[in-house]
Amino acid sequence: MTSGVTKSKEVRALEWTNKRLRLLDQTLLPTRVQYTELEHWPEVVTAIRSMQVRGAPALGVAGAYAVVLAAQELKDLPLDEFREKLQAAASSIAEARPTAVNLAWAVSCTMSAASSAASAAETIKLLLTEAQTIEREDIEANHSIGEHGALLLPQDATVMTHCNAGALATAGYGTALGVIRTAWAQGKLKGVIATETRPLLQGARLTTWELTQDGIPTTLIVDSAAASVLRSGKVSAIVVGADRIAANGDVANKIGTYGLAVLAKAHNVPFYVAAPMSTVDLATATGDQIVVEERASEEVSSPQGVQAAPDEVGIYNPAFDVTPAEYVSAIITERGAFTSPYNESLTSGAQNRG
Ligand code: MRU
């Protein structure tokens, strides 16, 4: 383990090194920058569930490398048993968190890439190549998302964002924060308003950490200040990420996103979703079919480990909500910005896959 101050331009939520997965432990940010090296695939499942690594595209990359770790661990078994146990591990990894489609997608891509392998050694090689491809292509996609998204913003834009859809949530650069970074580099951005994002404070702990290190003027607000800030007329656009986008354009993202989308419509502020095509799930027809993860009640009753509610109270803690497509002004992907009707635009965007 190492620690120290890291510039966000260099921030990597995760990297493959020395046959291990190295993760920046996001539960400790912003006060501690600490990496952990994982050698066994169940450790990655634990890291995903405990949010040491989080954010849809980063979960995909972590899942892909977890499959490589599983293959490394199982390689000495007879080939039939190796294949069977690897498939079981892949299923467990894909199910570690249910809402972000990138996780199951990346595990499935990785397993498919190695399906014709004739030995454990060949399997490991093919799995690793695929995981590295997923990682590299995610960074490339984020830069393209940044370019397409920045085009939609006016000069001197103030952008509101929710949760963390940055370098920390991806293989690098970020989706919503990719749009913000590109607009900043182009001299188009005045500043960012980040919502704190209860209960786990990804906005307060992670987004502000990333953006302030890049020197991007950032103002943190509590979630409940969003309505009056939008009413003030100072916000040019809201840009958020996504965990799963259904074929009809309904968007699952961090809890609170739906409320912001409704507020955006009420105040005539464009509401943009920035996500790679790997987050678009054409097999899911509408948002009603998306499984929304419910997390432990302690995240709400004892935020940051400090008790804030009586023991007896009932708690409901959905980690995500689904924003109906009618509230989404555009879905910004690496293949361009798609608009309604999303069934048509997303399907044709997916067909144009290079
Ligand atoms: O629970 P989290 O922190 O994994 O939720 C993350 C989000 O909701 C992000 O907005 C989404 O995954 C997009 S990340 C580019």
| Ligand 1 cavity residues, CB under 6 Å | 54-57, 100, 163, 165, 169-170, 175, 202, 240-243, 253-254, 319
Domain-terminating residue out of 141, 157, 175: 141
Distances (CA, A) of 308 to 199, 296, 303, 341: 12, 15, 7, 44
Give the closest residue to 156 by CA, choosing from 188, 193, 179, 194: 188
Ligand 1 centroid to residue 116 C-alpha, Å: 33
What pLDDT score was predicted for residue 213? Answer: 94
Same domain, 218 and 112: no
Going from the Cα of 255 to the center of ligand 1, the distance in angstroms, rounded, reads: 10
Same domain assignment for residues 82 and 161: no
Considering the domain architecture, whether residues 148 and 63 belong to the same structural domain is answered as no
User: Which CATH number is 137's domain given?
Assistant: 1.20.120.420
Give catalytic residues, as residue numbers.
Answer: 243
Q: Are residues 123 and 221 in the same domain?
A: no
Res. 348 pLDDT band, cuts 50 70 90 = very high
Beta bridge partners of 17: 20
235 and 279 in a single domain? The answer is yes
CATH code at 220? 3.40.50.10470
Q: Looking at residue 353, what is its pLDDT? A: 53
Q: What percent of the chain has pLDDT over 90?
A: 95
Report residue 59 as tokens.
């979960």
Cβ contact 315:301 at 8 Å: yes
Residues 189 and 293 in one domain: yes
Tell me, in angstroms, the distance from the centre of ligand 1 to residue 76's CA.
37
User: 111 and 171, same structural domain?
Assistant: no
Residue 350, SS3? helix
| Residues 89 and 178 reside in one and the same domain | no
Residues 68 and 162 in one domain: no
Determine the pLDDT at residue 4: 36
Report CA-CA distances (Å) from 171 to 143, 148, 206, 260.
Answer: 11, 19, 15, 26
Predicted pLDDT at 209: 97
40: number of Cβ within 10 Å: 15
Domain that holds residue 204: 144-351
User: If we measure between CA atoms, which residue out of 351, 323, 325 comes closest to residue 340?
Assistant: 325
By CB atoms closer than 10 A (0-12, 13-18, 19+), residue 187 is exposed
Asked if residue 163 and residue 71 are part of one domain, the reply reads no
Please give the tally of structural domains in the chain: 2
Rounded to the nearest integer, the mean pLDDT of the chain is 96
In terms of Cβ atoms closer than 10 Å to its own Cβ (0-12, 13-18, 19+), residue 332 is buried
222: pLDDT strictly greater than 90:
yes
Q: Do 271 and 126 reside in the same domain of the chain?
A: no
pLDDT in tens, 241-269: 999 999 999 999 999 999 999 999 999 99
Contacts for 327 with CB less than 8 Å, ≥ 6 apart: 258, 261, 262, 264, 265, 271
pLDDT (tens digit, 9 = 90+) per residue, 196-215?
A: 999 999 999 999 999 999 99
Please report the atom of ligand 1 found closest to the CA of residue 293: 1
Closest CA to 69 of 98, 48, 97, 99: 48
Q: Which of 101, 117, 141 is the last residue before a domain boundary?
A: 141
Is the same domain home to 289 and 345? yes
pLDDT for 128 beyond 80: yes
Q: Which residues contact 222 (CB under 8 A, 6 or more apart)?
A: 195, 196
Which pLDDT does position 11 carry in this prediction? 87
Of 141, 169, 200, which one is at a domain's C-terminal end? 141
